[in-house]
Structure 1
């Protein structure tokens, strides 16, 4: 990842994706304490402001270590973080990364996750020299499967008992999109 500049801010029609800071902790806590939001994330719902601060600290760490980048999602004209989207497990040598996202329940079904996802994917292909972006999704998470499929991701297979999170083994579908397959016009 080219770190010659500060943390990049992304803009789309309705959204500004920016670096999350400790000042966003209450908003992050608000949506990550909701079991409906965390259900398929492999984490327990957050219980404290410190949980949110630790999450934001992880965002900063992956950026500093060049292993990923995570943007806070805000609506234009409002500076409230309502979700996050970004890359993790970046393998620069192989030009690939995983993508992850979550959104506050009150904003579900409005196309916001799709709009943020589109901006982040475009950034990965255009600015991070990615060739492949992967999404690992629990089989029960139908809405996320639909979101990635809408963006052109292809389901490659089922990774059985791939992760041990929140006290259980999770099967995960592997989805991917290649740079050549991505529609940069949205």
Structure 2
């Protein structure tokens, strides 16, 4: 179910409320983005200050304002603490495509929360943003992320060699994609189980 709150799309799933991330969430953001394990494949060093968290929130706002992306805060129903985020970046509306990104506090790993958020955000993208293609760029050693997106129907298309320069090194990235028709087929098969 999706509804608008202050023009920001609010997404509700069985266990989650996905909402806009605001400055008041900076301490929550700092809590999980200062964790070395969470940040291992994020492309940034673990956060150390509240200003770094505020800058991250400013980036979420800038991609929304520029219409190049949108990032939702992941919260559990009945709790307002932001425990992660999921959303789109590098959106190219004329080609109906975007990238997806996500992270989750380590305290909540292994409970299907990231998968639930990912599916809801992807559904929103195909329905309301009229996307045809969602891409995910994943570092080869990041096996949990690969399993997450493969579970959600993404197909690995290839290896982008030395594609990004982050944290003082060049990183290879796998290119994954999910097409609208593949997502719809996957959703239909879940309904028929």
TM-score bracket for this pair, using the shorter chain length: over 0.9
**2:160 is aligned with 1:159:** yes
Gaps of 5+ in 2: none
Question: What residue in structure 1 maps to residue 18 of structure 2?
Answer: 17
Separation in 2, partners of 1:102, 1:150:
16
CA deviation vs aligned residue, 1:7-56 (integer Å, no higher than 9, x gap): 10001000000000010000000000001000001110000000000000
- Please, what TM-score do these two structures have when normalized by structure 2? 0.93
- How much does 1:184 deviate? 3.7
After TM superposition, which residue ranges in structure 1, 4 or more long, deviate above 2 angstroms? Answer: 183-186
Aligned to 2:103: 102
Query: CA RMSD, aligned part only?
Result: 1.2
* Larger RCO (alpha carbons 8 Å, 6+ apart): 1
* Preserved contact between residue 122 and residue 184 of structure 1 (Cα < 8 Å): no
Give the Cα–Cα distance (whole angstroms) in 2 for the partners of residues 36 and 97 of structure 1: 26
Q: Give ranges in structure 1 of 5+ residues lacking alignment.
A: none
| Distance in 2, Cα, partners of 1:60 & 1:89 | 14
1:31-180 correspondence runs (5 A): 31-180=32-181
1:9 alignment partner, SS class = strand
Cα distance between partner residues in 2 of 1:85 and 1:109 = 16
Q: Separation in 1 of the partners of 2:113 and 2:97?
A: 24
SS of 1:146's equivalent?
Answer: helix
- Secondary structure of the corresponding residue to residue 18 of structure 2: strand
String of CA shifts for 1:99-124, please: whole Å, max 9, x gaps.
Answer: 00000000000000000000000000
| Partner secondary structure for residue 100 of structure 2 | strand
Distance 1:157 1:52 in 2: 33
Q: Is the 8 A contact 1:31 1:82 kept in 2?
A: yes
Shift of 1:64: 0.6
SS in 2 for 1:77: coil
